Amino acid sequence: MTIAIVGLGGTGGYLSAMLTKNTNHNVVGFARGNHLSIIQKNDIKIIEDDANFSVAIDAKELKDASGYFDVVLFCVKSYDLVDSYDGIKNYIDEKSVILSFSNGVDNGDKLRELSNSIVLDGCIYILSHIEIAGVIRKKGKVFAGVFGGDEDATHIVASIFEDAKLRYKTPSDIKTAIWKKYIFISAFATLTSFYNKSIGYIYEHHKEEAEEILKEIAQFASTKNIDIFDEVRKALLTASKVPYDSSTSMHLDFKNKKQTELDSLTGYVKAPLMQKIYNRLLTYNLLKD
């Protein structure tokens, strides 16, 4: 199969490297800027806790896309999803399987509004980021692709993950599964960005506030008939176990003065404390611009 991975950041860069390294699929990664230039010149480098490796991947700009893709994995920031789809839409059809691993809970719905391809819902658990151009740093053992929807399409993506020796889950209730990931990343992206501190620091010094926000997210999810109240305790447990200095992509974007996923990760949750922090962070973001 020919697989497009749109976005070669912490998630897409790692997936591209693992699929290229461990499978016989034709994998094409799309990126831009200096990160792309370094990958094209020196390959992509993956740094994990106990292993480092480099892989020569087929990487190019989205404007240079060509051919046909059986599967497209969107690994871009949520605010880039629509533009990324526009860049790849001429190279897929109704038989193609497309899946977004972007942060947020409504990416599949957005793609279904745009496309007649087979759209799966999904999310991914991974702690990774671009350390420097061309280099992806993955922290800890956390990894799982989670996806579902159309049965045949789910099987196709599952077989790709199996070929790449990557852990995955295909829950029967994919919507709830996405919210189970969202509750953690939404709460800790918000708090790590607000306090400019790591996940470990937030757990150690702002645990009660984290619990309050997690409860707000669970309550908001319940208005959409999603029950994730049990995830409040689990999210706190996860925060206690990740490497202390682990952060979130939104926090890193704030630190690096880049566009953030503030709207999808914080503003999306209509609850008192979340909206208070959202407004504070929104002002901070505007001041930086």
Considering the domain architecture, whether residues 161 and 277 belong to the same structural domain is answered as no
Considering the domain architecture, whether residues 82 and 43 belong to the same structural domain is answered as yes
Considering the domain architecture, whether residues 165 and 239 belong to the same structural domain is answered as no
Q: Is 208 a residue whose pLDDT tops 80?
A: yes
8 Å CB contact between 103 and 249:
yes
Percent of the chain with pLDDT over 90: 89
Query: Which of residues 129, 152, 172 is at a domain's end?
Result: 172
Considering the domain architecture, whether residues 201 and 139 belong to the same structural domain is answered as no
Angstrom distance (rounded) from CA 284 to CA 270? 19
Residue written as token pair 């990416």 = 107
What one-character DSSP code corresponds to residue 122?
Answer: E
Q: pLDDT band for 285, please (50, 70, 90 cuts).
A: low
**How many residues appear in the chain?**
289
Q: Is 85 a residue whose pLDDT tops 80?
A: yes
Per-residue pLDDT at 243: 85
The domain of 74 spans 2-172
Residue written as token pair 């645990």 = 207
Considering the domain architecture, whether residues 52 and 162 belong to the same structural domain is answered as yes
Considering the domain architecture, whether residues 140 and 187 belong to the same structural domain is answered as no
Lowest mean pLDDT among 14-23, 135-144, 200-209, 268-277: 135-144
Query: Which of residues 172, 198, 231 is at a domain's end?
Result: 172
Q: pLDDT band for 284, please (50, 70, 90 cuts).
A: confident
Per-residue pLDDT at 151: 97
**CB proximity list for 184: less than 8 A, separation 6 or greater:** 214, 231, 235, 238, 239
Per-residue pLDDT at 112: 98
Provide the token pair at 233: 């305790």
Q: Is 50 a residue whose pLDDT tops 90?
A: no
Q: Is 288 a residue whose pLDDT tops 70?
A: no
Considering the domain architecture, whether residues 20 and 116 belong to the same structural domain is answered as yes
- Taking alpha carbons only, the member of 264, 150, 169, 269 closest to residue 218 is 269
**Digit-coded pLDDT (tens) for 88-143:** 999 999 999 999 999 999 999 999 999 999 999 999 999 898 999 999 999 888 89
Angle between helices 231-241 and 174-195 (to 10 degrees): 50
Question: CATH number of the domain that 115 lies in?
Answer: 3.40.50.720
User: For residue 124, what are the β-bridge partners?
Assistant: 145
Average pLDDT over the chain, rounded to an integer: 95
Residue written as token pair 């002002």 = 283
Query: Which of residues 137, 172, 207 is at a domain's end?
Result: 172
- What backbone phi and psi angles, to 5 degrees, belong to 228? -130, 25
Provide the token pair at 104: 């947020």
Considering the domain architecture, whether residues 164 and 277 belong to the same structural domain is answered as no
Considering the domain architecture, whether residues 130 and 192 belong to the same structural domain is answered as no
**Digit-coded pLDDT (tens) for 181-207:** 999 999 999 999 999 999 999 999 999
Angstrom distance (rounded) from CA 246 to CA 253? 14
Q: pLDDT band for 146, please (50, 70, 90 cuts).
A: very high
- What backbone phi and psi angles, to 5 degrees, belong to 117? -75, 170
Considering the domain architecture, whether residues 141 and 22 belong to the same structural domain is answered as yes
Per-residue pLDDT at 286: 53
How many folded domains does the chain comprise? 2
Lowest mean pLDDT among 32-41, 127-136, 145-154: 127-136
Question: CATH number of the domain that 245 lies in?
Answer: 1.10.1040.10
Considering the domain architecture, whether residues 153 and 275 belong to the same structural domain is answered as no
Q: Residue 276: how many CB atoms within 10 A of its CB?
A: 11
Q: What angle do CA 251, 277, 195 make, to 5 degrees?
A: 45
Considering the domain architecture, whether residues 254 and 165 belong to the same structural domain is answered as no
